[in-house]
Amino acid sequence: MSRFVECREKSVWKFDASNDGSVDGLFHLHENVGLGEHHFCLSSEEAPFWIAVDPMKEPFEGEVLLLSSSEISKLEEYLKLNTPKINLFKRVFSKKTKTSDLFLLIASIIKHSKGYDKSEYLSWL
Give the up-direction half-sphere exposure of residue 81: CA atoms within 13 A in the CB hemisphere.
7
User: Does residue 21 surpass a pLDDT of 90?
Assistant: no
Q: Tell me what the mean pLDDT of segment 38-47 comes to.
A: 92
Q: What is the pTM of this model?
A: 0.85
Q: Is residue 88 over pLDDT 70? A: no
Mean pLDDT of 3-8: 92
Residue 67 CB partners (closer than 8 Å, separation 6+): 35, 36, 37, 75, 109, 113, 118, 119, 121
Angle between helices 69-82 and 101-113 (to 10 degrees): 150
CA distance 101 to 118: 23
12-26, 43-57, 67-81, 111-125: range with lowest mean pLDDT:
12-26
Contact at 8 Å (CB) between 109 and 66? no
112 CB neighbour count, 10 Å cutoff: 20
Across residues 21-39, what is the average pLDDT?
89
Query: What is the arithmetic mean of pLDDT over 27-52?
Result: 92
